[in-house]
Amino acid sequence: MKLMFRLAIISKEGQDISDLLKPYLKLLSDESLEKSIKRQKRFISGVIFGNIAEGYANNEILIVKKENKKYLYESCGKIKDVCWNQMATRESKKENKKIKLEDGFCISHSLITPDGKWHGMIPLDLITYGFRNEEEGKKYIKDYYTQYIKPYEDNGIITIVTCNI
């Protein structure tokens, strides 16, 4: 059984996202998945770029500022070119409540920042996954834009991938 979740990778200009992902990938020749998860490290068994099955259409997650409608939705873009307020409005419609960036907004279950640090939820076992506790989950959503996205606005690039464990 595979569990799927969305991961945002924030990189700087010229930084290879595969280098940021590498420490978290579960290699077949590596230790058991159970041990990896307990160590909260190297627990991603696969990464999918772009579209996959229903509910995980990564090419419709980011709304990027571009004139050509063909490129309105992308899974990768410069942070300064992403229409964050427009995305919060879209989430507001889905959630049926007003969502503001600074009050709490989230487009991925987890993210990796340019320093290689993992933020957000961690898989706990093969059946369940999530945050260590409810407060940690609320804090991640509250801080998502202001703490993890905004600091990299000038020269950061955000890439959304779907991962499985």
68-78 residue pLDDT tens: 444 445 578 88
pLDDT tens, position by position, 130-142: 677 788 888 999 9
Q: Is residue 66 within 8 Å of 58, Cβ to Cβ?
A: no
17-21, 22-26, 57-61, 112-116: least confident range: 57-61
Closest CA to 33 of 41, 110, 3, 20: 41
The pTM (predicted TM-score) of the whole model is 0.78
Bridging pattern class, strands 73-74 and 110-112: unpaired
Q: Taking 80 as the threshold, does the pLDDT of residue 16 lie above it?
A: yes
Domain locations in the chain as residue ranges: 4-164
